[in-house]
Amino acid sequence: MKILVTLKRVPDPEQKVKFKGNQLDFSGASWVMNTFDEYAVETALRLNENAATGERLGEVVVASIGPKEASQQLRSALAMGADRAILIAGDDAQLDSGMVARMVAKLTEREKPDLLLMGKQTPDGENNQVGQLVAGFLGWPQATFAGSIEAADGGKALVVGREVDAGMESKKVPLPALVTVDLRIILPRAVHNGATPADHAYEEGPRYASLKGIMAAKKKELKEMTPADLGVEAALCVQVTSVEAPPARKAGVKVKDVKELVEKLHNQAKVI
């Protein structure tokens, strides 16, 4: 099947958040691919290969909206094995989830994939909206927070194991559909495409790019576009006007033993 995967470059979640006045300061930040998006790329590759023979079963297109530098993350996805990439010019400060979703919807209409695969959220904005918005715009079925995916009906549908509040929900969606991925999707046996032997166990986590993959990625197509090419006008509906550091928690104390801990919890904190 043809799969479109979106990915975003985000500030490395491990680095300290800096402020400049009432705005975030990303000068000197290092940028990485959103982990959930990386998992989506891995999921797309697993869905579109026979892991036993190495045969490729369909096209994987990766797309990002961001500055020129985001081509680096797209190249990483190409090096992992994606076939081609699309970079739509954009600046985070001038984008909201709605605009991103409109662009992804337009791109989806143009590319006509069988499956739109996305990470469930980003670690910077943490909005957890774009996938569901796109599905809403397109009137597609959606399966968010996927922890497992299995091809069904001879590749015309997917059965998705969804992380819901009560446990795991099994939802069947006909293609084309939108799926957003959660953490467990990269477990060794989370993806079954009907071609890879059912007992095949993947290495846990997204695959590393091989040297051959990195070399090949340099020759793969990376097309640059603008929102105007997609017919999307800039219209920010949700704007971050200022940002501040959260109130810091007061430093606590170390207790010497269990007795003192229970005494403090009972008499001082009064929680037990």
Partner 1 sequence: MGNVVVFMEVVEGALRKASLPAVTFAREAARHHGGQVLGVVAGSGLDAAASQASQLVSKLFVFDAPALASGMAELLAPLIARVAKEQGATVVCATATNTGKDVLPRAAALLGCGMVSDVIAIQGPHSFKRPMLAGNAIAHVEVSTPTLVASVRQTEFTAAEPLGAAGELIKADPGPLDARGAQVLGVQATKSERPELTEARVVVSGGRGMREGKNFEILGQLADLLGGAMGASRAACDAGMVPNDLQVGQTGKVVAPELYIAVAISGAIQHLAGMKGSKVIVAINKDGEAPIFQVADYGLVGTWEQTIPPLIEEIKQLKAAQK
Q: Could you tell me which stretch among 53-61, 94-102, 107-115, 219-227 binds partner 1 (CB under 8 A)? A: 94-102
Determine the Cα–Cα distance for residues 238 and 97; give it in Å rounded to an integer.
8
Q: Per rule CB under 8 A, is residue 253 in the interface with partner 1?
A: yes
Strands (E) in 79-221, as ranges, are 84-89, 115-119, 142-152, 157-164, 167-174, 177-181, 191-192
Shortest Å distance, C-beta 5 to partner 1: 19
> Site mask, partner 1, residues 144-183, x = CB under 8 A?
xx-x---------x-x---xxxxxxxxxxxx--x----xx
Q: Per rule CB under 8 A, is residue 112 in the interface with partner 1?
A: no
**246: which residues sit within 8 A by CB, 6+ positions away?**
none
How many residues would you count in the chain? 272
Q: Per rule CB under 8 A, is residue 234 in the interface with partner 1?
A: no
Interface residues for partner 1 in 14-33 (CB under 8 A)? 14, 16-17, 19, 24
Shortest Å distance, C-beta 247 to partner 1: 9
CB 143 within 8 A of CB 173: yes
Q: Which is nearer to partner 1, 98 or 155 (CB)?
A: 98
Considering only 13, 194, 197, 231, the residue that binds partner 1 (CB under 8 A) is 13
Q: Which is nearer to partner 1, 103 or 135 (CB)?
A: 135
Q: Which is nearer to partner 1, 78 or 134 (CB)?
A: 134
Number of chain residues interacting with partner 1 (CB under 8 A): 82
Q: Inter-axis angle of helices 71-80 and 35-47, to 10 degrees?
A: 30
Q: Which is nearer to partner 1, 211 or 258 (CB)?
A: 258
Beta strand 3-6 with 60-66 is parallel
The single-letter DSSP state of residue 56 is: B
Instruction: With residue 260 as reference, give the H or E element that holds it.
Output: helix 258-267
Determine the Cα–Cα distance for residues 181 and 47; give it in Å rounded to an integer.
13
Considering only 66, 81, 141, 206, the residue that binds partner 1 (CB under 8 A) is 141
Shortest Å distance, C-beta 163 to partner 1: 6
